[in-house]
């Protein structure tokens, strides 16, 4: 492994726990301007204050609002996006050269598998994988089996993570597939690449996501990457503090909620 890549991976990993808490705010191109994302500068500030291990965002927001926080929390540059009008394909919008220029510690690629659009997305992932490896840049994939040919995404989690692993991805974000036992199979299918659980719509309240984090860790996950449950929370900073408590401190979801409430005062 290139020294540069190892340095970047180390920056993405909590030294004490060896785990990862990522937060994302790349949603607006794909899902619209959701609650909590109305003011990009403000939500970035709140996320940084919670001290996650990385924040994933698109280049425009990074360039315009991230400079005051440079060096405080690693940046993961998102290189693809789907939209409200093309849900089954992530199209390229950035590259490794831009990630290097932005000082990112990783570049991330969306991968929607299980439909005819998979072909072009896999081609782009392979291209980014080669470029990232050449630059010592860690590669993250948001890999979801939700293409038009997929009837039950939970049955295809192993495939989703394995495709990403086969193409050189280091950290693979994917949805929960129903149980600790099932998610452990996905973690094993991806090894030695690391798997983190996505938040998505798998919960209604923060404690639901804290429990999801607990179960993912029991399954051997590297950590979590959450978005909506953080930026839509009444206190995004406190939400990250609570997630960190589960992932890095080994707290239960119940105890982490106490930390959330204590942090808010």
The model's pLDDT over 144-160, given as tens digits with 9 standing for 90+, comes to: 999 899 999 999 999 99
226: confidence class by pLDDT, cuts 50, 70, 90: very high
CATH number among 3.20.20.70, 3.10.180.10, 3.40.50.300, 3.40.30.10, domain 3-264: 3.20.20.70
**Residues recognised as catalytic:** 26, 144, 173
When mean pLDDT is compared across 79-88, 126-135, 210-219, 224-233, the lowest value belongs to: 79-88
Residue 85, pLDDT score: 85
Kindly state the percentage of the chain with pLDDT values over 90: 89
Secondary structure E strands in 17-155: 20-24, 54-57, 75-78, 80-83, 86-92, 106-112, 139-144
265: confidence class by pLDDT, cuts 50, 70, 90: confident
Tell me if 74 sits within 8 A of 47, measured CB to CB: no
113: pLDDT strictly greater than 80: yes
Residue 203, pLDDT score: 76
Residue 33, pLDDT score: 81
Measured over the CA atoms of residue 27, residue 175, residue 263 and residue 73, the dihedral's sign is negative
Residue 30, pLDDT score: 76
- C-alpha 79/C-alpha 94 separation (Å) is 4
161: confidence class by pLDDT, cuts 50, 70, 90: very high
- The partner residues of 198 in beta bridges, in order of sequence, read 225
């Amino acid at each position: 492994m290139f020294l540069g890549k190892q340095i970047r991976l180390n920056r993405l990993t909590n030294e004490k726990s060896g785990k990862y808490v990522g937060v994302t705010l790349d949603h607006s191109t794909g899902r619209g301007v959701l609650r909590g994302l109305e003011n990009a500068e403000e939500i970035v500030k709140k996320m940084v204050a919670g001290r996650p291990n990385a924040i994933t965002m698109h280049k425009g927001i990074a360039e315009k609002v991230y400079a005051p926080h440079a060096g405080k929390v690693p940046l993961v540059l998102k290189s693809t996006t789907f939209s409200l009008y093309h849900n089954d394909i992530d199209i390229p919008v950035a590259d490794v050269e831009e990630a290097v220029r932005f000082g990112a510690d990783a570049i991330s690629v969306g991968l929607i598998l299980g439909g005819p659009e998979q072909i072009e997305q896999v081609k782009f992932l392979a291209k980014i994988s080669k470029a990232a490896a050449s630059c010592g840049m860690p590669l993250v994939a948001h890999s979801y089996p939700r293409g038009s040919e997929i009837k039950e995404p939970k049955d295809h989690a192993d495939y989703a993570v394995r495709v990403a692993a086969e193409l050189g991805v280091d950290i693979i974000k994917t949805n929960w597939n129903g149980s600790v036992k099932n998610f452990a199979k996905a973690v094993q299918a991806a090894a030695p690449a690391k798997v983190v659980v996505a938040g998505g719509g798998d919960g209604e309240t923060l404690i639901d996501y804290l429990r999801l984090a607990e179960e993912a860790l029991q399954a051997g996950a590297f950590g979590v990457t959450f978005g909506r449950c953080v930026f839509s929370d009444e206190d995004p900073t406190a939400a990250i503090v609570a997630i960190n408590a589960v992932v890095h401190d080994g707290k239960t979801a119940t105890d982490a909620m106490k930390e959330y409430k204590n942090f808010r005062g």
